[in-house]
Structure 1
Amino acid sequence: MLLAIGAAALPASAQDAADLLVRTTRLENQLRQLSGQIEQLQFENRRLTEQLRKFQEDVDFRLSERGGSRSGAAPASPPAGQPPQPARQRRGDAFDPAANPGSAGAPRQIGEVIDDDFAGSSTAGQGPLDISGVGRPGPQGALSPTAPRGPSVAAAGQAASSREIYDVAYAHVLRKEYERAEMGFREFLQSYPRDRLAPDATFWLGESYFQRQRYREAAEQFLKISRDYPKAGKGADSLLKLGMALNGLGARDQACATYAKVGVDFPSASNAVRKGVEREQKRARCA
């Protein structure tokens, strides 16, 4: 009798275990779907925040232009019977970039000069690397590398770490979603400009431009690595990419000078970089 009861109980327990396994698997699938939806919503939120920021910048720019045109108009004469208003005097401690063009804070052309030590290389005499007149100017919405970078609204609204933002943006690079990658890396650099991943983020931001044939913006980012992060791990790669971007802009001489600079600044560059330099030198028909 006891044996019969035990035999009947075994199938019931096995059935319960199978049901529990099915339910667990179903819950795991639902959890994965919810996680994907949350990630998508976070990305959409960041995208909308970026669009709002661009809109606000555009409005501010238009208002400043309108204010400047008004200030440039002839001052209206005061009504009869009222004394004329005294002219506004410029503050004595105000910074004037026209009077101090070489001081810190004065505007400079992006990518104006590559390091002075390049003058001693085999390509000396060609002058400093200047991409200010190369190619077409970037779109109005593009961020200038010298523009002040405040905290991102999206990063402030969400407690996302620098590594999380970087990983999401890099995942877009791996999926060849370069427009989304650009947005992610720009958000990273705005929110964490001094993070240890900033040089890599700058490189991949340039790569996201390069892959969409936006060579000028790409060159600005690759040049920024050579200027601001000369000892970065991607220094040699960035110089190679800078030459490729310059060649894409039609600046063959500057591209060839940049390829030659790779060997000067990075004599121990990886074999892949050296082969890439040789390949691009042949493609550009460098002397």
Structure 2
Amino acid sequence: MENAKERLNNFLKFFNDNKLWIAIGFAVAVAAGVPSYLYQQKGADDFNEVWSRIYRMNYEVATAQQGGNEKEALEGAISEYSFLKDNLSTTGATPWLLSELGNAQYKAKKYDDAILTYREFINRFGNHPLAPVIRQSLGYVLEEKEQFNEAVEQFEKIAKDPEATYLKAQVRLDTGRCYEKLGQLNSAVAAYKEIINTFPESSSAKMAEYRLEDLE
């Protein structure tokens, strides 16, 4: 029993430490597939201004992480992204600006602000290629706030989205993890088995098998 509890804690710690980076990784993959969408307004001044400042803030945050000053850099990034959102017109870069703002708020543990930003993205750009990733990030923030039912709701919406096939294995794993936290173990087992049956070669299936060893 003690060993099973330790394995669960290790499983949860892995995702607590890495889930934002999982979402960001998917965002990067999506970015590679939609260059024409993003650059259709490249000639617009506001578009270029937003992108140049996003790149600069990303560089500054990455540099600060190496120097141990991430907190201050994140505060600066949040301030910069908020200013751009409020003062520049909507362009093809705006969805990415909201994504960067929400992620910075998330990493700074400003969870309520991140929830508002992610919801704004979904309301304004629900058909954008990044929308499923943003919804997943929203689910993660809700999970951080222990609003597990609300998190499951977000993950389930992604699982039903025909445009989000690249996320389906991961969000079923996310769903199972939240069900475990809710104590709904039968639902967690069902979610894990679905991953194994549907995506047997995925890394998520391996993690699901790991959890089933303790639950069954």
- So what's the TM-score if we normalise by structure 2? 0.56
> RCO greater where, 1 or 2, for CA within 8 Å and sep 6 or more?
2
Q: Does 1:224 align with 2:157?
A: yes
**How many angstroms does 1:168 deviate by?**
1.5
Q: Deviations over 1:165-211 (max 9, x none)?
A: 11211223333433322121111101100000011011111011112
Q: Deviations over 1:209-229 (max 9, x none)?
A: 112211000000000111124
> SS state of the match for residue 194, structure 1?
coil
Aligned to 1:188: 121
- In 2: Cα distance, 1:253 partner to 1:230 partner: 28
**How many angstroms does 1:279 deviate by?**
3.4
The root-mean-square deviation of aligned C-alpha atoms, in Å, is 3.1
Aligned partner (choices 157, 170, 175) of residue 242 of structure 1 = 175
Aligned partner (choices 82, 85, 90) of residue 159 of structure 1 = 90
Provide the identity percentage. Answer: 23
**Could you say which structure has the higher helix fraction?**
2
Q: Does 1:175 align with 2:108?
A: yes
Distance 1:39 1:241, change over 3 A: closer
- So what's the TM-score if we normalise by structure 1? 0.43
Aligned to 1:52: none
Map of 1:92-107 to 2, 5 A cutoff? none
Extract unaligned runs of 5+ from structure 1: 1-31, 47-153
Pick the structure with greater CA Rg.
1
Q: Is the 8 A contact 1:199 1:232 kept in 2?
A: no
Map of 1:29-68 to 2, 5 A cutoff? 40=79, 43=82
Q: Does 1:274 align with 2:185?
A: no
**How many angstroms does 1:253 deviate by?**
0.6
Distance 1:230 1:244, change over 3 A: farther
**How many angstroms does 1:248 deviate by?**
1.8
- In 2: Cα distance, 1:37 partner to 1:250 partner: 39
Distance 1:256 1:42, change over 3 A: same
Distance 1:229 1:214, change over 3 A: farther
Aligned to 2:142: 209
